Amino acid sequence: MEQDNNPIRPACVDEQLAILQGYFPHLNEKQIKQFSSLYELYADWNAKINVISRKDIENLYLHHVLHSLGITAMLHFKDGSSVMDLGTGGGFPGIPLAILFPNVKFHLVDSIGKKIKVGQAVAEAIGLQNVTFRHCRGEEEKQAFDFVVSRAVMPLADLVKIVRKNIRKEQINALPNGLICLKGGELAHEILPFKNQAIQLDLSDTFSEEYFKTKKVVYVPL
């Protein structure tokens, strides 16, 4: 039987991390270290509190971290921006984005307290200074931000209804403030009510891996 020299960190994990670095070649040492630490932290926490599918943990960097960074296909947040991640679960897309944009403030919200705990523990372990967390429903959060981001939380119309109150009026980014969310599959129906304002991009135009073939990033100015 072939022996695995590093059963805790399979080779595919570092192969995926290298793919991520290929797409984001300007990461500094600190960011590379922070991204690199995510595997052990999530593998450990996910065994206790399920925040991503257990059989998908080896695909952490491709399916969860790089996917989260797909938000940048729509916009690179300007330094000094503020962003809320609604329904962050264990920290996606908020934590990968907070690593990539250390001068942007991220506020990660989820209605399930134990998931928020995972995100907090991971952020603390990698020394992330630009994230805050709140255990609450998005409906209760009253603070205002430049953007709200979200992955796999609820249909677009419901998201828009909840986060409209959370969008600041003043614009400092290249796009007017609003909602940017990661979506999969057939979106035509969801997007219909916003078709005049929404922009939809295929992540397959940014990331060539098979996984992104059906993945999209959607922006709605609010």
Ligand X SMILES: C[S@@+](CC[C@H](N)C(=O)[O-])C[C@H]1O[C@@H](n2cnc3c(N)ncnc32)[C@H](O)[C@@H]1O
> Interface with ligand X by CB under 6 A: which residues?
52, 86-89, 92, 109-112, 115, 137-139, 151-154
Taking the least distance from each CB to ligand X, the nearer of 9 and 134 is 134
Is 9 annotated as a binding-site member? no
Residue closer to ligand X, measured from CB, 32 or 136? 136
Specify the DSSP element, H or E, that contains 99.
helix 94-100
Smallest distance, Å, CB 158 to ligand X? 8
Is 87 annotated in a binding site? The answer is: yes
Q: How far apart are CA 83 and CA 101, in angstroms?
A: 11
The reply to whether 151 sits in an annotated binding site is: yes
Burial of 100: CB neighbours in 10 Å, binned 0-12, 13-18, 19+? buried
Q: State residue 80 phi and psi, 5-degree precision.
A: 90, -5
**CB of 173 vs ligand X, minimal distance in Å:** 22
Rounded to whole angstroms, the Cα distance separating 219 from 118 reads: 28
13 or 148: CB nearest ligand X? 148
Q: How far is the CB of 6 from ligand X (least distance, A)?
A: 26
Q: Take residue 167 and report the two structure tokens written for it.
A: 């969008």
Least CB distance from residue 112 to ligand X, whole Å?
A: 4
> Cβ closer to ligand X: 30 or 165?
165
Strand order in the sheet with 131-135: 131-135, 105-110, 82-86, 147-151, 178-184, 215-221, 199-202
Q: Which residue ranges are tagged as binding site for S-adenosyl-L-methionine?
A: 87, 92, 138-139, 151
